[in-house]
């Protein structure tokens, strides 16, 4: 079945360092790739997304890159701060947007800890 | 900023009881979803809903589950006879349009505990 693989499962960095989380997907029709941040006891919050017509998107300290050939996409957080500590999920819609109602398939999550 | 809201935040119920989880999606959104997250695991799709009918459901969403949009604002998930394994966080999400607006926005979740 369709799957989204996410690595690493945990990531520990010092404040100010960069963090990179990687995902691979199996459905070549997927054309939209969101990243969600989930803080303890809260729902997933959309932080950035990328569509298949671009290779990179940046928003302040976070960026996402996409390699459609390799079916990889990555989240990059620069100058990490303690408040970046959370679980991060990548996701991809099954079947793209030409059909279906775009249920999201989530990765297993990465628990990021930023130490002061 | 508009947001998805969910009630209750925590529901405790006994096995075999019926529960209804409630969601108010963002007001101009057209697509509605329920997902669940068992503690420590990934978020899993349950069902999508559009134009007053289910558009897709997962194998988790068996005949014990149902969804409804009883009025113009609420979207509910009903579990008829809860099982221990239904204990999870349940998230409602909504999306604006099938067009270029791909973003799904999630509510804060309802923690369901079945004892």
The share of chain A scoring above pLDDT 70, in percent, equals: 92
Shortest distance, CA A104 to any CA of chain B (angstroms): 7
Q: What is the per-residue pLDDT for A97?
A: 47
Higher pLDDT, B28 or A65: A65
Q: What is the per-residue pLDDT for B11?
A: 97
3-state helix, strand, coil in chain B (%, to 5): 5, 50, 45
Q: Which residues pair with B27 in a beta bridge?
A: none
User: What average pLDDT does the segment A48-54 reach?
Assistant: 86
pLDDT of A98 > 50? The answer is no
Quick check: A32 and B102 CB within 8 A? yes
Task: Share the mean pLDDT of chain A.
Answer: 90
Q: What is the per-residue pLDDT for A28?
A: 74
pLDDT of A64 > 60? The answer is yes
Locate the chain B residue with the closest alpha carbon to A107: B42
Higher pLDDT, A28 or B73: B73
Cβ neighbour number for residue B59 with a 10 Å cutoff? 6
Mutate which of A59, A104, A108, A109 to disrupt the B interface (most B C-beta within 10 Å)?
Answer: A104
Q: What is the per-residue pLDDT for A27?
A: 79
User: What average pLDDT does the segment A38-50 reach?
Assistant: 92
Q: Please write the tens of the pLDDT for every residue from B71-111.
A: 878 999 999 999 999 999 999 999 987 655 578 999 999 99
Q: Please write the tens of the pLDDT for every residue from B22-54.
A: 999 998 898 999 999 999 889 999 999 988 999
pLDDT of B9 > 60? The answer is yes
Q: What is the per-residue pLDDT for A1?
A: 59
Burial class (CB in 10 A: 0-12, 13-18, 19+), A51: middle
User: What average pLDDT does the segment B56-65 reach?
Assistant: 93
Q: What is the per-residue pLDDT for B10?
A: 97
Locate the chain A residue with the closest alpha carbon to B108: A43
B19-24/B31-37 β-pairing = unpaired
Q: What is the per-residue pLDDT for B86?
A: 97
Candidates B110, B94, B112; CA nearest to B4 is: B94
Q: What is the per-residue pLDDT for B101?
A: 57
d(CA A37, CA B78): 27
């Amino acid at each position: 079945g369709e799957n989204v693989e996410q690595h690493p499962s945990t990531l520990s960095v010092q404040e100010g360092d960069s963090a990179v989380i990687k995902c691979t997907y199996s459905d070549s029709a997927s054309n939209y790739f969101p990243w969600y941040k989930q803080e303890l006891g809260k729902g997933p919050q959309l932080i950035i997304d990328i569509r298949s017509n671009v290779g990179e998107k940046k928003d302040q300290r976070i960026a996402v890159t996409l390699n459609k050939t390799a079916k990889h996409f990555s989240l990059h957080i620069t100058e990490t701060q303690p408040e970046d500590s959370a679980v991060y999920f990548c996701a991809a819609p099954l079947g793209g947007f030409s059909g279906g109602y775009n249920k999201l398939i989530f990765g297993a999550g990465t628990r990021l800890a930023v130490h002061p | 900023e508009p947001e998805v809201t969910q009630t209750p935040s925590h529901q405790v119920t006994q096995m075999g009881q019926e529960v209804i989880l409630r969601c108010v999606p963002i007001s101009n959104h057209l697509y509605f979803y329920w997902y669940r997250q068992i503690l420590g695991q990934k978020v899993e799709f349950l069902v999508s809903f559009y134009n007053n009918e289910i558009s897709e459901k997962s194998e988790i969403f068996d005949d014990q589950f149902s969804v409804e949009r009883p009025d113009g604002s609420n979207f509910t998930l009903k579990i008829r006879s809860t099982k221990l394994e239904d204990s999870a966080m349940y998230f409602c999400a909504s999306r604006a349009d099938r067009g270029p607006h791909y973003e799904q926005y999630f509510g804060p979740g309802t923690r369901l505990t079945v004892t």
